[in-house]
């Protein structure tokens, strides 16, 4: 029997739509509390996801959903990296 491959989905913290995980930008809080942007999606820790779109990032920031999802404040440099990634 052919195995049906399920695409893993995650919710964007901006638009709150489910999307394929690989289409989203992952932000991860490592066990030591460091928050980083994780392009590989493989770092361990608590993750939050956002579409690579400025709209979504703006919504997520306004509603503080990234902070809430990760339960920690997001450093300015992490926000800047996210902005660079949604603009490119
Ligand atoms: Zn989104």
Ligand 1 centroid to residue 26 C-alpha, Å? 12
Q: Is 51 exposed, middle or buried (0-12, 13-18, 19+ CB in 10 A)?
A: buried
Distance 55 CA to ligand 1 centre (A): 7
For residue 48, give both structure tokens. 């939050």
Smallest CA-to-CA distance from 38 within 55, 20, 50 is with: 50
- Yes or no: say if 48 and 69 are a contact pair by the CB < 8 Å rule: yes
pTM: 0.88
CA 30 to ligand 1 centroid distance, Å? 23
- Rounded to the nearest whole angstrom, what is the distance from the C-alpha of residue 62 to the centroid of ligand 1? 13
Q: Along the 88 residues of the chain, how does pLDDT read in single tens digits?
A: 677 878 899 999 999 999 999 999 999 999 999 999 998 889 999 999 999 999 999 999 999 999 999 999 999 999 999 999 997 6
């Amino acid at each position: 029997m052919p195995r049906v491959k399920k695409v893993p989905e995650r919710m964007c913290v901006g638009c709150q739509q489910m999307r394929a995980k690989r289409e989203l930008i992952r932000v991860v809080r490592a066990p030591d509390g460091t928050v980083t942007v994780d392009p590989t999606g493989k770092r361990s820790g608590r993750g939050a996801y956002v579409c690579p779109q400025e709209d979504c990032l703006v919504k997520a920031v306004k509603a503080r959903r990234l902070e809430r999802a990760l339960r920690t404040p997001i450093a300015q440099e992490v926000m800047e990296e996210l902005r660079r990634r949604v603009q490119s």
